[in-house]
A and B are shown apart, each in its own frame.
Chain A
């Protein structure tokens, strides 16, 4: 499998310890290079690589198409994975760890508007990157801090009971498919 890149390849930092690199193509045909240690953070991508039998020798000649993730999100994801590829495995969260503070670099990376964050989470979920998922969820959870129920309803677009009822009524009133 070989696809000509339509846009310049995003460069990753030189990896001296492990020179194996992979190419990923986003849904809008942006091509990204990612190191082996970084790509392992994505369970989905690593499973694909394993199943496709990609090796150090043939990896760069066989870009991996990821049709569910666009270039903008893939760029963020590659940056994140390269940044955290040598992190030690973190213990599983217990509930609401007070001491946990999102690192500043990651907070900056995830300082994006709500729609972009929403799309990034869907991509992260699809690529199964637990650490990025934890961080994104932390950002979303932090939006709830010190907020009243009324403020939460606005922040997260939660309909009131009356709005939910009205939606249900209009759904049941609408004519079904004609037979």
Chain B
């Protein structure tokens, strides 16, 4: 309650309170919103009318779960910690003069619960046009399901998500995809069992799979993504050859623009290329038009043709100890 030493903010004209809000960071706005329902409503309406109020949010269930809010320039990152000594610590990071982050630690006895409160408050007061989620599946394994249930109440879809963590995560990843729609980017960096089935084969965004042991030829044929990146898969060279033949016949991956996949047997590339193809001299430069209408410069490569005139330009590149097949699909200009 107001006392003689307090500054009577609410007795100022609304326009002046808004000027005060303008000087505040998302840290302060969120803390303000936690003071009372009336103030939360005020902050929310201020942010909704503010010009250029476009924010992105990243949230993560890492060891120190965090919520990061980015407006025009700086990431403001709240980290929830179970280490009381870190409470109130601050850090400012700048990378290449561009990526600027202000980080603050808040102590909690129940980090998952307080992380959820933080996400809920941020979602209530800010309008976000991009949601990024990092799901560390082995950090709070007993809470994974409730985390997904919670996210479902907070957002209809997530634009970008990454899964990390060790084995035993199949059911959690399945549960996530059965409940949350992802739009733009999925990276599954967790080691899943050989029997995992990706539940959203209709997903059209970029699909990146770091441990592709579970990707069967049949699953691979069904993916609808415009960009597919798979490492450590067990797909054979013969299956890769079959995949390319299906693509040439326009029987799969009609929307594909980029494909990256490891080659299990680098000694028998001729098996993969046992199909009509043309080797383009490496000093030949061409321009290709992607299916999203953007143009891209091409140099050399091995061309294969789809029956509608699209060209897949293949290159082979090493990544650590894996040889990769990379294919870019364009209409050559």
Binding site for B on A (CB under 8 A): 93-96, 98, 114, 117-118, 121-122, 125, 133-134, 137-138, 140-150, 152-161, 163-164
Contact = CB atoms under 8 A, between A and B. Distances in A.
Contacts of A142: 23
Q: What are the 4 closest A-B residue pairs judged by CB atoms, nearest first? A: A157-B2, A141-B23, A157-B6, A149-B34
A132 B24 CA distance: 17
Contacts of A122: 12-13
B3 A95 contact: no
B23 A118 contact: no
How many B residues touch the partner, as a band? 35 or more
A152 B32 contact: yes
Given A125-B15, A140-B7, A154-B3, A145 B23 contact: no
Contacts of B20: 137, 140-141
B300 interface: no
B6 A155 contact: yes
B141 interface: no
Nearest to B5: A114
7 contacts: A93-B22, A121-B12, A122-B12, A143-B7, A150-B35, A158-B9, A159-B2
B54 to A, nearest CB: 11
Contacts of B92: 98
Interface string B89-113: 0101000000010100000000000
SS class of chain A's interface: helix, strand, loop or mixed? helix
B35 A133 contact: no
Given A93-B22, A95-B22, A118-B11, A160 B36 contact: yes
Nearest to A125: B16
B214 to A, nearest CB: 44
Q: Which of B31, B73, B90, B100 has the most CB of A within 10 A?
A: B31
Contacts of A138: 23
A137 B19 contact: yes
B12 A141 contact: no
A158 B35 contact: yes
Contacts of A145: 28
A94 B1 contact: no
A122 B3 CA distance: 19
A121 B16 CA distance: 8
A155 B7 contact: yes
Contact of A164 (B3, B7, B13, B36): B36
Given A141-B20, A141-B23, A155-B7, A118 B12 contact: yes
Contact of B31 (A118, A147, A159): A147
B220 interface: no
Given A125-B15, A147-B31, A157 B9 contact: yes
Interface string B174-209: 000000000000000000000000000000000000
A81 to B, nearest CB: 18
Contact of B25 (A96, A114, A149): A96
B74 A152 contact: no
B151 to A, nearest CB: 24
A53 B1 CA distance: 48
Interface in B66-93: 71-74, 88, 90, 92
Contacts of B73: 94
A164 B42 CA distance: 14
Contacts of A137: 16, 19-20, 22-23
B7 A95 contact: no
Nearest to A153: B35
Nearest to B11: A118
A141 B5 CA distance: 16
Given A117-B7, A149-B32, A144 B2 contact: no
Given A95-B25, A117-B7, A118-B7, 10 more contacts: A95-B22, A125-B15, A137-B23, A143-B7, A147-B31, A158-B39, A159-B2, A160-B36, A164-B36, A164-B38
Q: Which of B1, B10, B34 has the most CB of A within 10 A?
A: B1
B333 interface: no
Interface string B20-63: 11111110100110111111000000000000000000000000
Contact of A161 (B24, B26, B36): B36
A173 B275 CA distance: 86
B276 interface: no
A96 to B, nearest CB: 4
Contacts of B16: 121, 125, 133, 137
Contacts of B11: 118
B237 to A, nearest CB: 54
Contact of B7 (A93, A134, A157, A159): A157
A114 B3 CA distance: 11
Interface in B133-148: none
